[in-house]
């Protein structure tokens, strides 16, 4: 089964043709998509999407861009949503020092709060990290996030950074940038064990080649799978099996698949 571990199907780019987008994902062999929340509005939208489509599951959290909006009421809404049967993770949460749309001290405080929620609810974390790698790692260590694990989504780093992520017990999210010319990810993925990665689109963002400059969608995760298989010298089925095993282990607490 092909899995897209990071989608934003509630965004306006999908407003006019969402049913068709999901149908194309099914045709591409995608059996599950993780719809990832990012702000207060998308909490309800994420829950609604999990109810609308059988193959859509959810992650509930607040993006670091929105950390300035954190309050007790929002925290309560997040916790209530996490009780849903189809909500598998907390996120996306983390730090973004590139855009700095929320003050950094607020980002760090809200990140720690969400790690605490993940620990209480025994949910894995979906990590957003941009220009803040050392601080993200330090906070995850200090808060004991290894106990629940998670995935560094849209991972842009090299071999050394990937090793630090794996040492913390987290996985690497691989998406469209792997297909870009001169991508540093090509070397990184050669050094990853098969137990270390998930596939994602981050749609509608980060489309793979040949769709750069256009809207990304879940069906395109197959292109990421094919490029990863080519780089690692294995079959597409090998990549699918590894990703499904890793996804189930991380997000569902299930034993790895055989083979």
Report DSSP state, residue 203: B
Average pLDDT over residues 1-12: 98
- Give the structural domain span for 172: 2-252
From residue 120, give the alpha-carbon distance in Å to each of 146, 151, 224, 246: 13, 18, 34, 22
| pLDDT tens readout for residues 241-257 | 999 999 999 999 886 55
CATH number of the domain residue 74 falls in: 3.20.20.140
**Position 258 in a domain:** no
- What local confidence, expressed as pLDDT, does residue 254 receive? 85
**Position 257 in a domain:** no
**Position 259 in a domain:** no
pLDDT over 90 at 237, yes or no: yes
Q: First CA to last CA across the chain, in angstroms?
A: 14
Average pLDDT over residues 181-205: 96
**Position 10 in a domain:** yes
Q: What is the pTM of this model?
A: 0.97
Report DSSP state, residue 249: I
- What local confidence, expressed as pLDDT, does residue 257 receive? 54
DSSP strands (E only) in the chain: 2-7, 30-36, 56-60, 87-96, 124-130, 150-152, 171-174, 197-199
Number of domains in the chain: 1
**Position 58 in a domain:** yes
pLDDT over 70 at 259, yes or no: no
- What local confidence, expressed as pLDDT, does residue 63 receive? 98
Pairing of strands 56-60, 87-96: parallel
pLDDT over 70 at 258, yes or no: no
**Position 176 in a domain:** yes
The DSSP-derived string for 150-190 is EEETT----HHHHHHHHHTT-EEEE-GGGGSTT-THHHHHH
**Position 212 in a domain:** yes
Average pLDDT over residues 12-20: 98
Residue that wins the pLDDT comparison between 199 and 182: 199
- What local confidence, expressed as pLDDT, does residue 256 receive? 59
Q: Are 209 and 177 within 8 A, CB to CB?
A: no
| pLDDT tens readout for residues 81-139 | 999 999 999 999 999 999 999 999 999 999 999 999 999 999 999 999 999 999 999 99
Q: How many residues does the chain have?
A: 259
């Amino acid at each position: 089964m092909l899995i897209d571990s990071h989608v934003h199907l509630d965004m306006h780019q999908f407003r006019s043709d969402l049913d068709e987008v999901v149908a194309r994902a099914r045709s591409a062999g995608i059996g599950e998509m993780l719809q990832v929340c990012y702000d207060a509005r998308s909490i309800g939208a994420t829950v609604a999407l999990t109810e609308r489509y059988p193959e859509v599951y959810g992650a509930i959290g607040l993006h670091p861009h929105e950390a300035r909006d954190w309050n007790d009421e929002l925290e309560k809404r997040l916790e209530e949503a996490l009780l849903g049967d189809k909500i598998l993770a907390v996120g996306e949460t983390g730090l973004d020092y590139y855009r700095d749309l929320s003050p950094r001290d607020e980002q760090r405080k809200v990140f720690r709060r969400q790690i605490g929620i993940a620990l209480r609810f025994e949910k894995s974390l979906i990590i957003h990290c941009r220009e803040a790698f050392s601080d993200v790692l330090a906070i995850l260590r200090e808060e004991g996030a290894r106990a629940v694990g998670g995935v560094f989504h849209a991972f842009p780093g090299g071999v050394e950074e990937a090793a630090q992520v794996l040492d913390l017990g987290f996985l690497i999210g691989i998406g469209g940038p792997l297909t870009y010319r001169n991508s540093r990810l090509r070397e990184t993925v050669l050094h990853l064990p098969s137990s270390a990665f998930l596939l994602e689109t981050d749609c509608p963002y980060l489309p793979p080649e040949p769709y750069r400059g256009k809207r990304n969608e879940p069906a395109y995760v197959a292109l990421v799978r094919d490029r990863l298989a080519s780089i690692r010298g294995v079959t597409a089925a090998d990549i699918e099996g590894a990703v499904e095993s890793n996804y189930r282990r991380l997000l569902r607490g299930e034993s790895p698949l055989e083979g």
